[in-house]
Structure 1
Amino acid sequence: MNDETTRMLPRLIPPVVVWLVTTALLVVAPSLDSADASIAGPALGSGGWWVALLVLTAQAATLLERRSRPLAVLLAVASASVLLALGGAGDSTSLAAAAVLVAVWSAVSSVELPRQARALAAALAGAGLLVAVGTGLSQTSIDLPLSTAVLGGLVQGAGVIVLPALLAATVRARRDAREARTDLALAVDREQSAQIAAAIAEERTAMARELHDIAAHHLTGIAVMTGAVERQIDTDPAGAKESVRQVRTQSTAMLRELRGLVTLLRSPGQAEDASGQERLSQLASLVEEARRAGLEVELSTPGTGAAVESVGPLAQLSAYRTVQECLANAARHAPGARCVVVLDTQDPAEVVVTVRNGPSATPVPSGGRSARRGLGLVGMQERADLTDSILEAGPTAEGGWQTRLRITA
Structure 2
Amino acid sequence: MSPVGLPRTARVGSDWSAGILAAVCWLVIAGVLVALPAIAPTEPAAIAAPPGSAPWWATLAAVTAQSIALPWARRMPVVVLTLVAGIAFVLAWAVPPAYLSLATLAYLIAVYLVFSTRSLRSLWRVLALAAGIMVVANVVAEIRSDELDPAVAIGLAIVQTAVATGLPLLLALVVFSRREAREAHSGELRALARERDALVQASVARERAAMARELHDIAAHHLSGIALMASAIHRQIDRRPAEAKESVLQVRDQSIAVLADLRRVVGLLRGDDAAELSLESLATVAELVATAQPDGTATEFVTVGDAPELGAGVGPLAQLTAYRMVQESLANAALHAPGAGRRVTIDDSDSTAVTITVTHAPAAPSAPGTAPSAIGTGGGFGLIGMRERAELVGGELSYGRTADGGWQVRLRLARDRAAGTAAPDDSGRTPGVPR
Same fold by TM (over 0.5)? yes
Residues 317-338 of structure 1 show CA distances to partners (whole Å, capped at 9, x for unaligned) of: 1101100000001111222222
The alpha-carbon distance between structure 1 residues 219 and 170, as it changes in their structure 2 partners (threshold 3 A), is same
Aligned to 1:128: 131
**Distance of 2:16 and 2:112 partners within structure 1:** 18
Matched, 1:301 2:307: no
Task: Specify the code of the residue in structure 2 equivalent to 1:134.
Answer: A
Q: TM-score, normalised by structure 2?
A: 0.79
- Whose helix proportion is higher, 1 or 2? 1
Matched, 1:52 2:89: no
Q: Is the 8 A contact 1:70 1:110 kept in 2?
A: no
Residues 79-120 of structure 1 show CA distances to partners (whole Å, capped at 9, x for unaligned) of: 333322222421001111122122102220233x3xxx3353
**Distance of 1:348 and 1:82 partners within structure 2:** 93
Task: Specify the code of the residue in structure 2 equivalent to 1:74.
Answer: L
Following superposition of structure 1 onto structure 2, how do residues 9-408 of structure 1 map, counting pairs within 5 Å?
A: 14-15=21-22, 17-29=24-36, 34-37=41-44, 41-44=48-51, 46=53, 48-63=55-70, 65-111=72-118, 113=119, 117-146=120-149, 149-150=153-154, 152-267=156-271, 276-291=278-293, 293-305=295-307, 308-361=311-364, 362=366, 364=368, 370-373=374-377, 374-408=380-414
Task: Specify the code of the residue in structure 2 equivalent to 1:194.
Answer: A
**Distance of 2:307 and 2:254 partners within structure 1:** 28
| SS of alignment partner, residue 292 of structure 2 | helix
Q: Is the 8 A contact 1:88 1:138 kept in 2?
A: no
**Distance of 2:15 and 2:80 partners within structure 1:** 18
Q: TM-score, normalised by structure 1?
A: 0.83
The alpha-carbon distance between structure 1 residues 166 and 365, as it changes in their structure 2 partners (threshold 3 A), is same
**Distance of 2:346 and 2:196 partners within structure 1:** 42
Cα drift, residue 217 of structure 1:
0.9
**Distance of 1:232 and 1:180 partners within structure 2:** 76
| SS of alignment partner, residue 351 of structure 2 | coil
Cα drift, residue 70 of structure 1:
0.5
**Distance of 1:8 and 1:85 partners within structure 2:** 30
**Distance of 1:321 and 1:28 partners within structure 2:** 94
Task: Specify the code of the residue in structure 2 equivalent to 1:335.
Answer: P
Residues 276-309 of structure 1 show CA distances to partners (whole Å, capped at 9, x for unaligned) of: 4322233222222124641353223233346622
Q: Is the 8 A contact 1:295 1:338 kept in 2?
A: yes
| SS of alignment partner, residue 84 of structure 2 | helix
Cα drift, residue 388 of structure 1:
0.7
Unaligned 5+ runs, structure 1: 1-6
Q: Is the 8 A contact 1:40 1:142 kept in 2?
A: no
Task: Specify the code of the residue in structure 2 equivalent to 1:145.
Answer: L
Aligned residues: 395
The alpha-carbon distance between structure 1 residues 148 and 213, as it changes in their structure 2 partners (threshold 3 A), is same
Task: Specify the code of the residue in structure 1 equivalent to 2:389.
Answer: R
**Distance of 2:252 and 2:384 partners within structure 1:** 30
Cα drift, residue 136 of structure 1:
3.4
Unaligned 5+ runs, structure 2: 1-13, 416-435
**Distance of 1:142 and 1:222 partners within structure 2:** 110
